[in-house]
């Protein structure tokens, strides 16, 4: 099918296998050895411009930020390539795979993908953010080269969510790819249910789907060993089954009771494991390990979020998955680094906007302790029947693939779909929300559903989710900071029994840009910090708010809503390179347990002013007491006061270098922060004053 002018290097699977070569289940990396060319499969067959790439890969890492010229192939506001790309890989199939089942698994490709093996079309997957697989078994030549061809399309399509959104839609095979080798009799799905959990005991049930691709019937058994967070076995369960060839069945293990469970929470993210062994005539033919957590929760309209019986103030952020220099093609170690940065700030919640994210992200949230709202990419607007069908498929894939993650507590259905549509479009939107909510409840009644809207405009759309998520930006796009608290109180008065969640609030901030006298929406760190202080104060004073997530944790690619840096939405608490802005340390001072101090601001070290002018110096800290020193002299030691507290000192700076040192104390622990400020007298103002 594809021209072999550029032949990919055959890969040695067993060197990168996640299990030993003789294991009953193998998961073999397919990230190395690919060739890529822009264009369709048909175009690729004629091309000599193949380049060697490895996964994760995106073709929009650079052109998504090029604003010099809009090329001919783009539409609307898209200044980057949205179209077709073709990948190919040679697979050297092993003779050891004879009698085995082999599938190719892609963790994500944006957003419509077609796959061939040895010129045989295997099928198409529609959706850019969940995993999908195809069976290679009938098409592989053992002890010979096999050609795998993948065509990916990230262009706009009316039947595929999202139609448009405030983020760049990077094309490519942008997540990991795998070969999964199993016995024809294998476990295809595993779900762990925890229907009853308390401080005293927990009920655990396992639901599986067993697939028999043998031609003859199989009489087998499924055995499970449950292990605690310490790795010690806590119980066993088993079930027998008979399964006809070429079919699948559900095999469930029910009723295991675990006494005195170690509960999962952001403070103590305890994880249990169930080890499953599928047996045929007493021989193990497949094995799976699945981690899970034990917790219970609810959102209360009066008390906010309740986890394991106690109120927990939800303090969170939104997170997009792209990163400078990578686009969407972010390696797992950097996904985890993002979650570590969020956790280090003291957050306990993350909304994965606006799509299902990499498995590595969910694993990190489970392990480090971050509650999760995960959603499908129904953003800004909706389509008709085909669009609705695709959205439902996306929801099903998200829930089934991420069902076992204890970090997930909310399934998101849509974002800002009530805007300026015609009446008919409003009907489609409400109707789709109703159907998505019903499907989510069918697939997973244990979690709550949510939607995020900017306005409801006289519809009953909020009747079709458990949580009302509101995206509000007082003091950025409209009104002033004080309007936010007034708006919250008005919502509470109108519907006191509704669970209100502030799913977005934020301000565009250019790291390192400061002004003495900032103004609304000027992109200064100064205004942005004032924005976040006012919003968090309003949220902190209203314990009945179900939760809140800052928009956004990191700056992200956006051709639609760039700030004063082309192609970047700058509402992050850290920039596109993950360098924290002042507001990161503000939230750390409000949320983190570990003692910290930060002199405001490390990105504003060159300052100007008049002779004798009084300046206000500020420290962000979660200490019980903070003392600030200027050029070796104490400006005073302050102790924390009840309620809202700011650490502020008024003083004069000398011309030249000023040395600042902040010392924070808490429970006998001491930390300090140091900063040098170069202060220059404003000569123009001096001359004007002399006149």
Q: Is 90 exposed, middle or buried (0-12, 13-18, 19+ CB in 10 A)?
A: middle
Cβ 85 vs Cβ 59: under 8 Å: yes
How many other C-beta atoms can be found within 10 angstroms of the C-beta atom of residue 59? 27
- How far apart CA 249 and CA 222 sit, in angstroms, is 12
How many other C-beta atoms can be found within 10 angstroms of the C-beta atom of residue 388? 19
Cβ 410 vs Cβ 376: under 8 Å: no
DSSP 21: T
Q: Which of 377, 546, 348, 549 is nearest to 466 (CA)?
A: 546
Contacts of 15 (CB under 8 A, 6+ apart): none
Q: Which of 677, 664, 526 is nearest to 597 (CA)?
A: 664
Which residues make beta-bridge pairs with 372?
Answer: 350, 408
Which residues make beta-bridge pairs with 125?
Answer: 113
> Per the structure block, which two tokens stand in for 319?
């997170």
Cα first-last separation, the chain: 83
* H/E segment holding residue 607: strand 606-609
* Angle, vertex CA 140, rays to CA 216 and CA 36, nearest 5: 140
- How far apart CA 501 and CA 469 sit, in angstroms, is 5
Considering 363, 374, 416, 627, which one is annotated as catalytic? 416
Query: CA-based Rg of the chain, rounded to a whole angstrom?
Result: 28
Length of the chain measured in residues: 691
Q: Does the annotation mark 124 as catalytic?
A: no
- How far apart CA 593 and CA 532 sit, in angstroms, is 20
- How far apart CA 165 and CA 167 sit, in angstroms, is 6
Q: Which of 62, 60, 323, 320 is nearest to 166 (CA)?
A: 320
Catalytic residue set: 416
């Amino acid at each position: 099918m594809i021209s072999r002018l550029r032949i990919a290097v055959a890969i040695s699977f067993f060197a990168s296998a996640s299990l030993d070569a003789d294991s009953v289940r193998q998961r073999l990396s397919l990230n190395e050895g690919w060739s890529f060319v822009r264009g369709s499969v048909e175009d690729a067959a004629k091309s000599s411009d193949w380049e060697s790439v490895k996964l994760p890969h995106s073709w929009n890492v650079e052109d998504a930020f090029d604003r010099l010229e809009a090329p001919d192939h783009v539409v609307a506001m898209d200044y980057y390539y949205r179209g077709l790309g073709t990948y190919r890989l040679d697979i050297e199939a092993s003779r050891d795979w004879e009698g085995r089942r082999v599938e190719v698994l892609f963790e994500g490709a944006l957003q419509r993908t077609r796959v061939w093996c040895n010129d045989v079309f295997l099928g198409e997957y529609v959706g850019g953010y969940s995993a999908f697989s195809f069976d290679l078994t009938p098409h592989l030549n053992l002890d010979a080269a096999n050609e795998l061809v993948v065509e990916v399309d990230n262009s706009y399509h009316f039947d595929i969510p999202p139609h448009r959104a405030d983020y760049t839609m990077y094309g490519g095979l942008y997540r990991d790819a795998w070969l999964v080798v199993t016995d024809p009799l294998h476990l295809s799905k595993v779900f762990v249910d925890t229907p009853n959990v308390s401080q005293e005991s927990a009920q655990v049930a396992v639901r599986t789907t067993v697939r028999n691709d043998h031609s003859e019937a199989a009489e087998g058994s499924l055995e499970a060993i449950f292990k605690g967070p310490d790795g010690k076995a806590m119980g066993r369960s088993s079930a027998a089954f008979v399964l006809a060839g070429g079919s699948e069945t559900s095999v469930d293990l029910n009723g295991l009771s675990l006494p005195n469970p170690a509960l999962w929470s952001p403070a103590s993210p305890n994880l249990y494991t169930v080890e499953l062994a599928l047996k045929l005539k007493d021989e193990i033919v497949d094995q799976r390990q699945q981690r899970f957590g034990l917790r219970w929760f609810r959102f209360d309209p009066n008390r906010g979020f309740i986890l394991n019986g106690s109120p927990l103030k939800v303090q969170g952020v939104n997170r997009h998955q792209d990163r400078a220099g990578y686009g969407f093609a972010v390696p797992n170690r950097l996904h985890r680094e993002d979650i570590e940065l969020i956790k280090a700030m003291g957050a306990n919640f993350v909304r994965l906007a606006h799509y299902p994210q990499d498995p590595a992200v969910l694993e990190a949230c489970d392990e480090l302790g971050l509650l999760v709202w995960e959603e499908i990419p129904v953003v800004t607007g909706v389509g008709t029947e085909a669009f609705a069908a695709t959205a439902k498929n996306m929801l099903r894939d998200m829930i089934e693939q991420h069902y076992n993650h204890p970090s997930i507590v909310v399934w998101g259905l849509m974002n800002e779909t009530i805007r300026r549509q015609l009446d008919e479009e409003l009907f489609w939107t409400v109707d789709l929300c109703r159907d998505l909510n019903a499907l989510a409840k069918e697939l997973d009644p244990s979690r709550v559903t949510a939607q995020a809207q900017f306005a409801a405009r006289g519809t009953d759309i909020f009747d079709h989710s458990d949580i009302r998520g509101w995206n509000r930006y007082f003091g950025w796009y409209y009104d002033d900071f004080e309007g936010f608290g007034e708006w919250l109180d008005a919502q509470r008065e109108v519907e006191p029994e509704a669970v209100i969640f502030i799913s977005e609030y934020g301000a565009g901030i250019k790291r390192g840009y400061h002004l003495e006298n900032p103004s609304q929406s000027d992109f200064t760190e100064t205004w942005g910090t004032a924005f976040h202080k006012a919003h968090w104060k309003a949220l902190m004073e209203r314990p009945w708010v179900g939760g809140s997530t800052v928009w956004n944790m990191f700056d992200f690619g956006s051709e639609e809503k760039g700030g004063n840096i082309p192609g970047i939405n700058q509402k992050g608490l850290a920039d596109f390179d993950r360098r924290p802005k002042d507001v990161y340390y503000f939230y750390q001072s409000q949320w983190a347990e570990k003692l910290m101090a930060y002199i405001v601001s490390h990105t504003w070290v060159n300052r100007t002013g008049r002779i004798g002018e009084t300046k206000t110096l500020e420290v962000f800290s979660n200490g019980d007491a903070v003392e600030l020193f200027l050029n070796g002299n104490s400006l005073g030691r302050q102790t924390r006061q009840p309620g809202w507290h700011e650490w502020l000192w008024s003083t004069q700076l000398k011309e030249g270098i000023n040395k600042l040192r902040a010392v924070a104390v808490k429970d006998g622990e001491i930390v300090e922060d140091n900063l040098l400020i170069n202060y220059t007298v404003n000569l123009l103002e001096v001359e004007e004053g002399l006149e």
